[in-house]
Each structure stands twice: as C-alpha cells, then as structure tokens.
Structure 1
C-alpha cells in the first residue's frame, strides 16, 4: 500500500504541475458539493418544522435554500466530472503513456523485449496511462466521498446516534470487493500470453501480406481455430475471476443492505414514537435515501481504484525493473572513440538466450582490425545475427568480453555508442511516416536535410524512388494512413538509405541487407557499400560488418568469419579460406554451382 500511496502522491504532483487550475477547481467543486449536500437536508428539516409551526416566511426561505443547494450539487458534480476527465485525458494519455514507452525503450539492449515475463506486463500496460491516472484521481474522489458519507452520518446522528452503526456495514463491501479484484488482477497477468497470441493470429488473418500465403495453403481455417482457442482460454480464465469477484461484491452488498434496512427502520420508529418532529422524519428519509447513493458511490469508486491494481502492479514492476537495470548498468565516464585506432576484439565471448540449452555464440575469439570490412557467413541459426547484436550492445556477453580499442564495450555508454553506429538489419523497421522522414530517422539531427537524404538514397541504389512517389520525399507511407505502400524491395532500400544517413560512424553493420533485392541491385548496393567502407576507414577507422548468406557478395571482404552452431570455425580472407578447403570452400562451391546452373 505504501508503494501505491507514493505513486499516487507523485501523480497528483504531476497533475498539479501540468494542470493546476483543473485540480484546484475540481477540489473546490467537491468541497462545495459536500457543503450543499449538508445544507439541503438541514434546510428541508427547517422548512417542514417552520411550516408546522405556521411560520410561512421561514418555511419559504428554508425551502428555497434547499432547492438552490440541491440544484448546486447537480451542477458542481457535472463540472467536477468534466474537469476530472479532461485532466486524465491530457495527463494520462499525453504523459503516462509516453512515460511507459520511454521506460520500455530506455532499457539498454533488447533482451527484455524477448522475455515473456516482460512482455506479459507490457501487454497489460498497452494504453494503460488513462487508467493509472484515473486511479490517482479516483483516490481523491474516494476520500471526498468518504467525507461526504461522514457528513451524512453526522446529519443522521442529530436524529439518532444508532445510525453510526451503518459505517462498519459500509466497510464490508470494500474489503470483499478488494479481495475479488485481486483475483482479477492475477488472472489478467496469467492470461496475457494467450491474449498476445490471439492478437498476433488475428493480425495474420486480417493483414494482406500473410493473407496471400494463407489462401494458397488453406491454413486460414486452422489459424482461425487457434485464434479462437487462445481467445477462449484468456476470456474464460478472466471470466471466472470476474465471476468470483462479482460473488464477493454481492455478498458485501447483501450484508450492507441488511444493516441499512434494520438501521433505517429503527430510526424511523424512534422518530415516530419518541416525539420527533416531522422535520426529523423528512431529514431521516432524505439523508438516508442520499446515504444509499453516497455509500454506493464511495464503495464503487473505492472498488474501481482497487481494480486498477491490475495496471498499477505492472506499472510499478516496470518502473522498478528500469531502475534496477539502470543501477546495474550505470553510465560510465569512458568516452566512445571518435575514431577507431586499433580495432574491435572478441575475447572468448559466449551468449545464451534465456530458456535455451545451447549457446547462440560460443567462446568466440577474434580481432576485427580498424578500417576493415568483415563478413560473417554461415548456415541459418549459426549465430551470425547474435554476433552482430553483441557488437551493437543489444546483449551483454554471458562470458568473455568485447573491447573497442582496448576498452570494454560494457563500459561505454550505450546511447553514445549507438550514436556512432550505422545499421541495417534484416528485420528492418517500416515507418509509416513521410518517405523523407523514413530515411532521415537514421540521423535525427539531420532528418529534414533533403540533400543528406538524397545522398543516402544514392548510397542505397534508391535515388529513383522519390520520383516514383506521388509527393516525392513528402509522400505519406502506409495505406492504413491514406498513403502509399512500398514493395518489400523498396522498404529494404529505404532501410539501407536510413543506415547511410550518418556521415562518420565508427562501425557499420549490414545484417542480410539485400535479402529482398534482385541480384543486380544487390551487387550494386554491395559495391557502393564497399566503396563507402573504404572511405569511412580513412575517416574514422570504421569497422564494417556484413552478414550475408550469399558468399559471392562478400568475397571482397578483408576478413571472413565462418560460424557454425555458435562457434567460429574458420576465419581469413576469401583466398585463404578457399586454399584451406574447409567449410567456407565447401559452402562457396555449392553456391557457385547453384548460381551457375543453366536456366531452362
């Protein structure tokens, strides 16, 4: 509970900082509403008593006061509700959803994005900023509703103190409902993986790209069955938790209603038999009627706050996770070199993915000289991509170390290291923004520099793309946003151009950069990048690392690394490896024969 209180206090502070007028006016309206509620009951009693005594003027004044106060409560509650919703929208969505995304991208590396434990929380937190902020304002409303309830009980106490016994009865629904909501929160986290799976399958079934293959294979029906099964698994578990929660809530309300009915009957009887006035009876009935809705509002708002536990726990978990990761990986003072003088060295580097039994990279030791072009080849699953991800500092080695000019890569600030890299991965991003921005994002300070963008497009053999688009560099991408969609090859060239935006990187990584291109385009791109690599070698001593399954395109590399089952089995130049007659020579010969077969 202390953690929740600290979180709510910090979010209220944020609300005050962002929207001080909203919070001030909201509290003012709520306080006036409580006062108007009390004056309504008291004025009604005075009006009835004055009429009974025949004092017409006093009766009219009291009745008018009651009417004004009653109307004021409706207006004040409407204004307060509008202010609350506006503040939550503007702070919860604009601030907290952004904060959650910053938490996610603020963790060094990408290991967390591949762990179910992390992804389960993120699934729950998607778009949860509104709910987290609403829980904060809900606490304020719950406190004010409790004050409102206390005022009503004090009013009834003026008729008979026995009505104070309603307060313990009002606490029972809160406790029981909290117990039920705890089960709901656990069920949401437990079924997050199934919910994620059904969303993934739904996307496959309703997206044009996979849709082509599904129609040929007739696998749509099977995927639809699996999507339904995953949906049923998640919904049924959550429904059972909701049903149990509703049962606890019903028990609480039954207990309260029995106490409420007994207390109200007792008070009315006392008022009628103990010489109470007609005004006391009206006050009792009026306040008791309002009491029911006040208790319901207090309980329901408190229960709603309790239900947000399903969001608050993952939010706090994420915040703590980010804090632990930053504490474990503090920003150090070792500067990232502006130029690589010696090179990058692997010293018995091993890495194993969580949940697997065998290392993806196993005791790799190799020196990558400054200014060299390094090719990494091997069969699928041999560890090529994992190797470059370690170089990019997306993962940290489980054993061994990687050094840059003698400095341990783990000691370099990740953000500074990434600013000195240019990368193009096989699973590149498809940014649905303008075409110019989709390229310019490769170098944020220069993302709007059209000359730089055009130069990057030329480096990727894509200078012709803008002329083929409706509005050139300003063309919106993505049909779902009313724009133009690109072919797979055009998307890949866009990614390659994005990787060419930075002018002075110290390392260039091209992971299967031409997998979607035809052979002539591939050859042109590689020739261009080889020339650029030589220029960068002179400028910054940059190491260019190319991962490719087509051996013919990497034959001109200075150093070729041959990976097999995570181990570095051979390394050397093309000529050296061919003379060795080992794995590389065998794989190269197989590909050479395959590409030289006569076409029918």
Structure 2
C-alpha cells in the first residue's frame, strides 16, 4: 500500500505539471460537490422548520438555496465526467505511456522481451497507463466522497448516535473489495500467457501472409478452434476470479446495508415519538438517501481504484526491473578507434535467465583484428546466442569477452553499439515506415543522410527493390499504410542494408544473412560483403562475423569456428577443417551430397 500511495503521489504530480488547470478544476469540482450535497440537506431542514414557524421569507430563501445546491450537484457531476474522467486521463495517460514505452525501449538488455514470465507482465501493461491515471483520480474522488460521508455521519449522529455505528460497518465492504481485487489480480497474471496465445492466434488468422498457408493447408477451422480454446481458458480463469470477487463484495455490502436499516429504523422511531422536529425528519430522510448514494459511490470509487491494482503490481515490477537494470549497468570506457588485437572469448559460458540449459559452454577463442570469421553449426548450437553476447544484450555468466584486452563489460554500452553493426537472424520488419526510414534505423544519426542511405542500399544489393517501389525509397512498406508489401527476401535485403548504414564499425555481424535469398542474390550479397569486410579491416581492423548454416558460403573466411551444443569443437580455415576430417568436414560433405541430389528444374 505504501508503494501504491507513492505512485499515486507521483501520478498526481505529473497531472499537476502537465495539466495544472484541469487538475485544479477537478479539485474545485470535488470540493464543490461536498459543499453542495451537505448544504442541500441543511437548506431543506431550514426550509421546513422555517415554514413550520410561518417564517415565509427565510423558508423561501432556504428552499431556493436547496434548489441551487441540487442543480449545482447535477452540473458538477457532469463536469467531473468530462474534465476528470476524459481530459486528464487522456492527457496524463499519454504522458505516462510515453515514459513507459521509452523506458522499455531504452533498456540495454533484452531479457524482458524473451522471458515468458516477464512478457506476461508486459502484456498486462498494454493500455495500463490510462487505467493507472484513472485509478489515481478515482482515489482522489474517493477521498472527497469519504469526507462527504464523514460530514453526513456527523450530522446524523447529532440527531442519533446510532448512525455512528455505520463507520465500523463500512469497513466490511472495503475489506471484501480488497480481497476481491487480490483474487482478480492473481487471475490476470495467471492467465496472461494463454491470453497472449489467443491474441497471437487471432493475429495469425487475420494476417495476409499466414492466410495463404492457412487456406492452402485447410487449417482455418483448426486455428479458429485453437483460438477459441485459448480464449475460453483465459476467460474462464478470469471469469471465475471475478465471480468469487463479486460474491465477496456482495457479502461486505450486505453487512453494511443490514446495519444501516437497523439504524434507520431507530431514528425514524424517535421521529415518530415526537423527539425530533419536522426539519429533523427531512434532514434525516435527505441525509439517509444521500448516505446511501454516498456509500455506494465510495465503494464504487474504491473498487475502481483497487481494480487499477491489477495494473499497479506489473507496473511497479517493471519500474523495479528498470531500476535494477540501470543500477547493474557497467562500463564507462570508450571502445578503441581501431582494433589491433581483436575480440577474445576467455572461458565464456552462458545460460538464459530462468533456465538451467547451458547454451554457450566454456568457449575460448580469439577473433583476430581485421579478419572475417565464420561461425557455423547446426540449429540450436548457440550461434545466435554468441551474437547476442557480442551485442551486449546479455552478459556471460562466467568468463570474459575482451576487446583489445579490455573487458567488454567495461565499455560504455551505447558507445560500443555505435561501433557495431548487425543483421540479425530474426530481423525486424517496419511496415509503418518508408523504405528509407527502415534502412536509416541502422544508424539513427544518419537517418536523413541520402549518401549514406544509398551507399548502404548498394552494399546490400537492394537497388532493385528501390527501383521497383512506386515512390522509390519514400514508399511505405505495407498496403495498410498506403504502400506496398515486400517479399521475405526483400525484407532481408532491407535488413542487410540497415546493417550497412554504419561505415566504420569495429564489429560487423551477419547472422544467417542470406537465409531468405535465392542463390544468385546470395552469391552477390556474400561477394559484396566480403569486399566490405576487407575494406573495414584495412580501415580500422574491424572483425566481420558471419553466422551461416550454408558452409559453401563461408569458404573464404579467414577463420571458421564450429559450434556443437554450445561447445567450440573446431577452429581453422576451410581447407584445414576439411583436411582434419572432423565435425566441419562431416557437415560439409552432408550438405554437398544434399545439394547434389536435388533434382534439376
């Protein structure tokens, strides 16, 4: 609860900084509602008592005051719905959502994007900022409502102390609501993974690319059935939790209503015995009706506030995770201007967080400065993981990676990434962008540099793509955004061009760079990148690392590394490894035999 309160105060501060006038208006509306509701009851009592005493002028004045107060309540409630629940929530929610996205996007590591338990929390956070802001304002309104409730009880208590017992009875619905919120929050987290699965299946069913395969394979009914089953499982878990929470809340409110009815019967008995004036009767009736509405509003506002707790726990977890990640950042040294020794792995081992499987197992090797290094092995051998370690997406569990004898962890991360370029196996697609923007992301500082852009496009042999686009490099890459779609091979060439935007990297990594290309394109791309690798080597001693399962494409590498189940089992040139007759030679012969057995077309 202390963490929640600190967060509410922080959100209120953001509201004041970014929507100061609206925030002040909401507080004025809330204070006006309290004054108007209490003032209306007092004015009605005065009107009745003065009428009984035949004081017509004061009676009429009090009646007019009661009417004005009643009208003010209606108007202020309308204004609150517009100002508080729409304008502030939309404006401040957008500010917090921007901060949240920026925090997630600027995390230096990617564990939060690859662990399912972390993704569960991030899934819950989609759309959460506005709900969190709404929860904060519901909490503010609940405070004013409880103030009105307290004033109402004070006035009723002055007539009969029995009503003071309602303060104790009001705890029941609040306690039950808190327990209900905990049940709902656990259900949201427990079903987040299956809920994410049904969303994915829905996206698959409505995706144009997947749609061709689904229809060809007649898999539409199966995908729909799996989506329905996943939705049913997610909905069932959340529905059951909400039913349990609803029963708890109903029990708590029933306890209050029964106690309220008893207290009301007592005060009405006193009135009928002549122990109260007609004005007191009107006051009691008015406040009784107001009390019912106030308690109902308080419970509803508190429920709405507590329901935001479903998002508060994941949000606070993410805040803690971000803070911990930033505190764990190491390295303030700048990378060298050029490599002289190279990049060395010294007994490096690694397992992904949350698992016990060793992915990189005691690897020791030097990637010499100015060399082209090929990394080969079967699927799952750890090749892409090694690329992630070099990118500093993760740190080794044991051992060190050094750059010219300086620990990679001692280098400033952003400075190191400014001296690296990479085309990853699971390259990104950016359909909402133009082709030029999708390529320019490779070096954001040169996003508008046309010379750098077309130089990168030429290096990746992507000129033909630009020539066929209706608006050239300014074409958006999706029909949904008024552009055209790209084939898988064209998307890969776009990724290769993006990786070529930096002209002076110390480390250039190509992870399965031609997996989606045809044979002629593959040959052209490798020829151009071998030329580029030699240019980079001569310019600043850069290391070019090529990850590929097609062994025929890496024959020109200066050094070939063979990984098998995370272990470095062989290293040497293409000719040396063939002559050794080991794992590389075996894989090469198997691939050569497979290609020779392909039927001619």
TM-score range, shorter chain: over 0.9
Once the two structures are TM-superposed, the CA of residue 481 in structure 1 deviates from its matched residue by 2.9
Could you report, residue by residue, the CA deviation over 1:507-549 in whole angstroms, capped at 9, with x for unpaired residues? 1111011111111111111111111111111222211101112
Number of the residue aligned with 2:349: 350
User: Partners of 1:180 and 1:355 in 2: how far apart?
Assistant: 31
Could you report, residue by residue, the CA deviation over 1:105-151 in whole angstroms, capped at 9, with x for unpaired residues? 33332223222221121121112111112222222111111011112
Could you report, residue by residue, the CA deviation over 1:492-511 in whole angstroms, capped at 9, with x for unpaired residues? 11111111111211111110
User: Partners of 2:43 and 2:437 in 1: how far apart?
Assistant: 66
For the aligned residues, what is the CA RMSD?
1.8
Number of the residue aligned with 1:506: 506
User: Partners of 2:513 and 2:531 in 1: how far apart?
Assistant: 16
Once the two structures are TM-superposed, the CA of residue 356 in structure 1 deviates from its matched residue by 5.0
TM-score by length of 1: 0.96
Mark the CA change 1:240 to 1:321 in structure 2 (over 3 Å): closer, same or farther: same
Number of the residue aligned with 2:90: 89
Secondary structure of the equivalent of 1:495? Answer: helix
Once the two structures are TM-superposed, the CA of residue 366 in structure 1 deviates from its matched residue by 0.7
Number of the residue aligned with 1:106: 106
Query: Is 1:195 the counterpart of 2:223 in the alignment?
Result: no
Number of the residue aligned with 1:423: 422
User: Partners of 1:303 and 1:379 in 2: how far apart?
Assistant: 55
Once the two structures are TM-superposed, the CA of residue 451 in structure 1 deviates from its matched residue by 2.5
Secondary structure of the equivalent of 1:415? Answer: helix
Alignment of 1:8-407 (within 5 A): 8-84=8-84, 85-92=86-93, 94-327=94-327, 329-354=328-353, 356=355, 358-407=357-406
Contact 1:38–1:155 (8 Å) recurs in 2: no
Higher mean C-alpha deviation, range 332-341 or range 56-65: 332-341
Secondary structure of the equivalent of 2:557? Answer: coil
Higher mean C-alpha deviation, range 303-312 or range 242-251: 303-312
Could you report, residue by residue, the CA deviation over 1:8-47 in whole angstroms, capped at 9, with x for unpaired residues? 1111111111111111111111112211112111111111
Contact 1:496–1:513 (8 Å) recurs in 2: yes
Contact 1:178–1:307 (8 Å) recurs in 2: no
User: Partners of 2:79 and 2:222 in 1: how far apart?
Assistant: 52
| Corresponding residue pairs, total | 598
Once the two structures are TM-superposed, the CA of residue 358 in structure 1 deviates from its matched residue by 4.0
User: Partners of 1:32 and 1:221 in 2: how far apart?
Assistant: 58
User: Partners of 2:596 and 2:194 in 1: how far apart?
Assistant: 48
Contact 1:106–1:322 (8 Å) recurs in 2: no
Contact 1:347–1:366 (8 Å) recurs in 2: yes
Contact 1:159–1:271 (8 Å) recurs in 2: no
Contact 2:384–2:425 (8 Å) recurs in 1: no
Number of the residue aligned with 1:585: 585
User: Partners of 1:217 and 1:350 in 2: how far apart?
Assistant: 42
Unaligned runs of 5+ in 2: none
Could you report, residue by residue, the CA deviation over 1:398-424 in whole angstroms, capped at 9, with x for unpaired residues? 221111111111222222222221111
Alignment of 1:467-478 (within 5 A): 467-478=467-478
Higher mean C-alpha deviation, range 534-543 or range 346-355: 346-355
Once the two structures are TM-superposed, the CA of residue 372 in structure 1 deviates from its matched residue by 1.0
User: Partners of 2:537 and 2:169 in 1: how far apart?
Assistant: 78
